[in-house]
Amino acid sequence: MTHRPRLLTLALLSSLLASPASASPWTLRQGEIAITAAYDQQWASREYLDARGRDQPFSLNGSYRGSTVGLGIRAGFTDRLELEVQIPFKLVSYTADPVILIAAPEGAEGLDHYQDNVIDLSRAVQGVGDIRLYGRYNLLRWPLAVAIEGRLKAPAGYDRPAGTFGERPRNAQDFLDNIGTFVRPENVRDDVTLGDGQLDLGLSLLLGLSLPSRTFMRLDLGYDLRFGAGDQLLGSFKIGQLFGPRFLAYADLRVAYAWQRGRVIGVSVAAIDPTLPATEYGGLTNLFLREVTLDRDEMVMALGGIVRITETVEINLGYQRTLWGRNTALVQGVYVTLGVRTRLQQFEPAPEPTADVEVDAAPEPEYAVEPASAQPSDPGPAAANEPDDLPDLDD
């Protein structure tokens, strides 16, 4: 029998939201089914607004919190083809200090004006986020694992993001010409959202290498066609090491880059000095306007470990952080994923032959664990002044 190195026996642990980086070139065998249940907690108080790579605090003491419970299932339809579906249930909240942006007109009663014009960006929303479907076809399993992945991301009916005061105005000049009409408490729209509210179609090449030293490496290269947003180039690199029979440590670095400009979804009111207290805003003097799109760049690092509890049950624990971005929050998060794999009875492997039966020897199947982190592209709001950038929240 040909011996090939294997890592953990459960090749399924996927991310909370199953970003493209969570895919594996080691597809399930025919009849194998993998089920995952995951929990993710994310938080942020800083953001990246442009490509300079410098983060800044959310204005108005803004703070983002998000949690997700994700359910997923993968099934091997042949020894090379597997399909997957993932559904996230999300709770997202954003808090910030209330602020007055419109000065009281001369002769108006101050108290009544302030009560009618307090802008409060604090919100919370919960529901089903983006549903993701995957299909993977393995081209080669040894010595290098190679697979092709196609994927679909579709919103589940939540309110889509918009500008700070809704889809209108659609440009900065319209906003300036009609400030009194748009800057109203009842017009605040974009404090939190469960996703970008648009459709994605993606294709990736998945590569994996498992070494005799019980080390594995993964490289994914992909492209997302984003309807209503700029298309993205995707990349991910993972490396992991197995220690003993039951623990694997891994590191993951992934990048998403929007090389196109998508359509403008509204105007966002941003702060010139995000550290300025709400009491010192002085109307519109601390504000500048940004025409908002859903385009987003990010580089995310994750560190974690996978523990094999039994031959068919594993748990994945990890931490992730945004290292750089544009139009996204500096998100930190922790995640835990429980994975269970089984095989349909009719596809159980044949029993070992007795000594008097001659059969052809078959190579030992190789399985590689998938140490995937929670979706970074679901990062939190891009700012207290720009919560419409609440995600992909990636995965």
Q: Residue 166 belongs to a domain with what CATH number?
A: 2.40.160.40
pLDDT at 142: 85
Task: Output the CA–CA distances (angstroms, integers) from residue 137 to 80, 134, 146, 154, 205, in the order listed.
Answer: 5, 10, 9, 21, 10
pLDDT at 313: 94
User: H or E element: which one contains 114?
Assistant: helix 110-117
The three-state secondary structure class of 274 is: coil
Question: Within a 10 A sphere around the Cβ of 12, how many other Cβ atoms?
Answer: 28
Q: How many folded domains does the chain comprise?
A: 1
Per the domain annotation, does 375 fall within a domain?
yes
Per the domain annotation, does 7 fall within a domain?
no
Residue ranges making up the domain that contains 202: 20-348+363-389
Would you call the peptide bond into 274 cis, given omega within 30 degrees of 0 as the criterion?
Answer: no
The three-state secondary structure class of 10 is: coil
pLDDT at 137: 97
pLDDT at 344: 85
Per the domain annotation, does 337 fall within a domain?
yes
Q: Which amino acid is at 178?
A: N
Per the domain annotation, does 180 fall within a domain?
yes
Question: Within a 10 A sphere around the Cβ of 323, how many other Cβ atoms?
Answer: 16
The partner residues of 94 in beta bridges, in order of sequence, read: 64, 123
What are the per-10-residue average pLDDT scores of the chain (395 residues)? Answer: 31 28 80 95 92 83 94 95 96 87 60 65 90 96 93 91 65 61 59 86 96 93 95 96 94 95 81 83 74 90 95 95 93 96 75 42 36 46 34 31
Written as six digits, the tokens of 324 are: 């750089």
Per the domain annotation, does 384 fall within a domain?
yes
pLDDT at 173: 62
Those residues whose C-beta lies under 8 Å from the C-beta of residue 261, and which sit 6 or more positions away, are 230, 293, 295
Of 124, 143, 173, the closest CA to residue 289 belongs to 173
Per the domain annotation, does 88 fall within a domain?
yes
Question: Distance between CA 36 and CA 74 in Å, rounded?
Answer: 9
Those residues whose C-beta lies under 8 Å from the C-beta of residue 107, and which sit 6 or more positions away, are none
Per the domain annotation, does 357 fall within a domain?
no
Per the domain annotation, does 143 fall within a domain?
yes
